[in-house]
Structure 1
Amino acid sequence: MADDLRIFLPLLLPDTSDSSSSDSSLDFFKDLIEQAKAAELLEEFEHSNEQSRRVRINRNNDLLKREREPELPEVEASRRAIAENCIGKKIIRSVVADDDDAYVIDGVSRSDFEASLTGKTIVGAHRKGKIMWIELDSPPFPLFQFGSAGAIYIKGIDGKKYKRSAVRDTDEWPFECSKLFIELDDGLELSFIDKRRSAKVRLLENPATVAPISELGPDAFLEPMTQDELFEALSKKKVAIKTLLLDQSFISGIGDWIADEVLYQAKIHPLQAAASIPKEVCAALHMSLKEVIEHSVEVDAVSSHFPVDWLIHYRWCKKPGKINGMAIEFINVGGRTTAYVPELQKLSGDQAVKVAVKPVHLLGEESFGPSQKRKSSDSGIYRADTPNVEVSSGFVIPDINEDPSPRRQKRREKKDKGPSSRNEYPRDITGRFEEYMAMKKELMDIKRIREEKYLTLADEQREALRQIMYDNDFETFNRPTDNVHPSMLEITLARKREIAKKYGWPCNF
């Protein structure tokens, strides 16, 4: 666009001897060229930024995972906010996002969804596990599965009391990532957002009796198991305890951070088999479940109000650290990143023995199992019938007439040679694994720092470009038109009207 304006500028300028009019028109078109260049640069930058953002999302970028995923306390805080501010009020308008993310609204068209809500009165807000639904004066009812980044915002209500901060307070309302917007008869507005496109919103006639609610286990806050019930349920499960806690059909509402927290406080290793947990340890688990969930619900899931000795303050950055002087490590349990404190959380029973003797093969390391025989030219084993000559340098000079194909050693020869080189020089598996994990953590830290710098720079550049465009538009809009040539006047006024419409400024010409 800027190049086109530069080409046609001589054709658009009138041939006149009025130097003041020509100068004014020339300035006007120079402003147009500058604004066009700024607009093209901003568009190109945002396009490249969007492409890189999609790549990061597709690669499950760790930077996006730093935000806490909504679990029972976060969803309960949203339910309470709706119950306190919206019950008894009528929905006068509902809007479903018209974009490529509209699949968040599942199983119903945009128009049908909007029509099913508009005109209804909110009479209740309910939750089970990590799922919430709003009860209206007549079915169907909207049900919200928050996914990994879903959140409900109520305009004018301090959101920090009931949800994690996924958007900035300065962002334009309704937010760009809003999937559902609702306006009530008293002017109150609420919006359901989803930055990662993993949430689902459905319309159901009776949510409590059908999937996904009917498939959930007892709610960890509303329907807690007794200590005996928990012990009996664990005794029937052979899976790792963290994997079991994340199973929503076993107990609903627990996610990564709660599971890590309660296991840390109960001093249970995340890989400990559920059935192997003794009754006294189960009592500690039951107590920590109760305390963590009740306290986090009480403070509306605001982590700054959690006790300072909780693991959550350290685990979400996924960086090496210490808590109460003890090192925090990260492992994979059932495909989920898990934080634990090895000094405090130790495997017990048969698992401790099995893990101690289980070999760990790192990437690129040879396997010395029975199915893969080690073959080494410098093993120190030579055949008696081969005329090799061993010199003092340690090298072996083979006979040129020797058959180069390897010969399998006989059992008697192996027995005569005594212990193999493998037994003579055992590998320090633990040391190698710790070195590998340290290198991996260092690389992840470098990657995180680079991405944080990139995002900061991207925000600064975007804001600078927008400010340039705003300053140019402001100057153009306020420039008097007294000296503009009559042939350019309509173009100038049209440009000013376009700027006024863009920023919502009053325009009376």
Structure 2
Amino acid sequence: MPEIAEVARIVHYLRQHLVGKTIKIAKAVEDANVFGKVGTTGPEVAAALTGKKVLAAGSQGKYFWLVLEQPPHPVMHFGMTGWIHIKGDRTAYTNYYKKMKPEEMDAWPPKYWKFQLTTEDPAVEVAFTDPRRFGRVRLVDCAGDSIRQHSPLVENGPDPVVDTDVFTEEYLRGKVHSRHVPIKALILDQTVISGIGNWVGDEVLYHAKLHPEQYCDDFSDEEIKRLYNSIRHVCQFAVDKLGDSDQFPEDWLFHHRWSKGQKGAVGHLPSGEKLAFLTVGGRTSCYVPQVQKKTGRVVPGVKEELMESDQEEPKPKKAAKSKAVKVEDGQPQNTRKRKAEEDEPPAKKSRAAPKKPSTSKVKAVKAEGTVAPDSKAESGRRRSGRLQGKAV
């Protein structure tokens, strides 16, 4: 989702190409998601733009707008995949979210456009696109200098770059101490701070060395100070570079957080610290456990997931014993073993308990004249003979 830096980039281009010009032609497709969910229609937006001179462009966090010479004024939000394209200028060329194929850069009108406008000479053509249709385009009927005093901007928190008189350390401390939510959830709340999304939030917490799922009301004043300074630094730097990630410092988490689940991904920073991921409330946080230590309570039951490349490799399974018979010296190995055993002298018998002689052995003993009765019947016959002899 485009965040504070990407929105600042688009406002820069609108000021450069559109401000001061009159819109000659405007047209819009009917889209119940992009226009209808905020109370307007595509034709109404087109009518509001046609024939109007653009006096200014502004932003607050993730929202941006055009100030026309008379109301209503268009106030826009990119959602997840929205973008502004200007014909002849590659607004998305260095933007991370909008890396485009060469053939897409020069196509006009761009695919998935929701509204287009063309200015009077010198002609400038502008289009708002949104493939997934989570973006919003609405009309705000008020004086141009009071747009921020109306919905939806009035419900949003201060912009950490634009509203430095409101977004102070004291302001942030008050918000942190008054809530009991994970710190990542707090700084993503647009009613608290405007413009921080998932990647900016992860970058901010990494620089501040704070664990993303620690409850915000457990942080000390020193930790809150680090958080405030980190928000100001990351947001200001990213805005100054117009969201051009190629100009972000190499040690920023930004360059390494996107490859989760990708084949061959490197799961650690250049300095060696491993990356890990947590998912709470459907939002994934990338963080560095060796840097972002827990100093208070955290959300229970959250599972940490390391990047695949840095997980412990499973132990290799033992190779199954081969049933193949080896052949040595022209004979199978097991045959050679049996022959060797046959050639060896017999081993001495151990002193085991004597076994009962078999019938054949008994018969052999009888044949040699040794008394060795082999049945009860035989004993009975001899006993009977002796008794008969005494009687005679």
Task: Calculate the TM-score normalised by the size of structure 2.
Answer: 0.70
1:103 aligns with 2:33: yes
Q: Which deviations, in whole Å up to 9, do the C-alpha atoms of 1:358-397 show, x marking residues without a partner?
A: 678xxxxxxxxxxxxxxxxxxxxxxxxxxxxxxxxxxxxx
Q: RMSD in angstroms over aligned alpha carbons?
A: 2.2
1:303-382 matches, cutoff 5 A? 303-319=245-261, 321-323=267-269, 324-349=271-296, 351=297
Evaluate the alpha carbon distance shift between residue 72 and residue 220 of structure 1 in structure 2; reply closer, same or farther with a 3 A threshold. same
1:223 aligns with 2:163: yes
Following superposition, the deviation at residue 282 of structure 1 comes to 1.3
Following superposition, the deviation at residue 331 of structure 1 comes to 0.5
Q: Please name the residue that 1:168 is paired with.
A: 101
- AA matched with 2:46: E
1:195 aligns with 2:137: no
Q: Please name the residue that 2:14 is paired with.
A: 82
1:178 aligns with 2:113: yes
Following superposition, the deviation at residue 441 of structure 1 comes to 4.9
Q: Please name the residue that 1:463 is paired with.
A: none
- Give the match's secondary structure for 2:284: strand
1: distance between equivalents of 2:174 and 2:149?
26
Q: Please name the residue that 1:300 is paired with.
A: 242
Residue 152 of structure 2 is aligned with which of 183, 207, 212?
A: 212
- Give the match's secondary structure for 1:170: helix
Following superposition, the deviation at residue 162 of structure 1 comes to 7.4
- AA matched with 1:150: G
1: distance between equivalents of 2:174 and 2:75?
33
- Give the match's secondary structure for 1:80: helix
1: distance between equivalents of 2:152 and 2:87?
29
Q: Please name the residue that 1:249 is paired with.
A: 191
Following superposition, the deviation at residue 257 of structure 1 comes to 0.4
Evaluate the alpha carbon distance shift between residue 334 and residue 359 of structure 1 in structure 2; reply closer, same or farther with a 3 A threshold. closer
Q: Please name the residue that 1:464 is paired with.
A: none
2: distance between equivalents of 1:214 and 1:198?
21
1: distance between equivalents of 2:255 and 2:159?
25
1: distance between equivalents of 2:280 and 2:161?
24
The question of whether the paired residues in 1 share the 8 Å contact of 2:204 and 2:227 is answered with yes
Q: Identity over the aligned pairs, expressed in percent?
A: 36
Evaluate the alpha carbon distance shift between residue 326 and residue 348 of structure 1 in structure 2; reply closer, same or farther with a 3 A threshold. same
Following superposition, the deviation at residue 256 of structure 1 comes to 0.3
Moved more, 144-153 or 314-323: 314-323
The number of residue pairs the alignment matches comes to 292
Q: Please name the residue that 1:401 is paired with.
A: none
The question of whether the paired residues in 2 share the 8 Å contact of 1:219 and 1:252 is answered with yes
- AA matched with 1:189: E
2: distance between equivalents of 1:162 and 1:138?
34
- Give the match's secondary structure for 1:123: strand
- AA matched with 2:295: S
Following superposition, the deviation at residue 297 of structure 1 comes to 0.7
2: distance between equivalents of 1:308 and 1:257?
15
- Mark the runs of 5 or more structure 2 residues left unpaired by the alignment: 310-392
1:397-408 matches, cutoff 5 A? none
Moved more, 289-298 or 157-166: 157-166
Following superposition, the deviation at residue 80 of structure 1 comes to 1.4
The question of whether the paired residues in 2 share the 8 Å contact of 1:242 and 1:333 is answered with no
Q: Which deviations, in whole Å up to 9, do the C-alpha atoms of 1:25-54 show, x marking residues without a partner?
A: xxxxxxxxxxxxxxxxxxxxxxxxxxxxxx
2: distance between equivalents of 1:71 and 1:318?
20
1: distance between equivalents of 2:191 and 2:158?
8
The question of whether the paired residues in 1 share the 8 Å contact of 2:42 and 2:115 is answered with no
1: distance between equivalents of 2:81 and 2:43?
25
Q: Please name the residue that 1:140 is paired with.
A: 72
Moved more, 157-166 or 120-129: 157-166
Q: Please name the residue that 2:382 is paired with.
A: none
Following superposition, the deviation at residue 161 of structure 1 comes to 6.5
- Mark the runs of 5 or more structure 1 residues left unpaired by the alignment: 1-68, 361-432, 443-509
1: distance between equivalents of 2:117 and 2:190?
30
Q: Which deviations, in whole Å up to 9, do the C-alpha atoms of 1:213-251 show, x marking residues without a partner?
A: 111011121113222332232111111100000000001
2: distance between equivalents of 1:268 and 1:149?
29
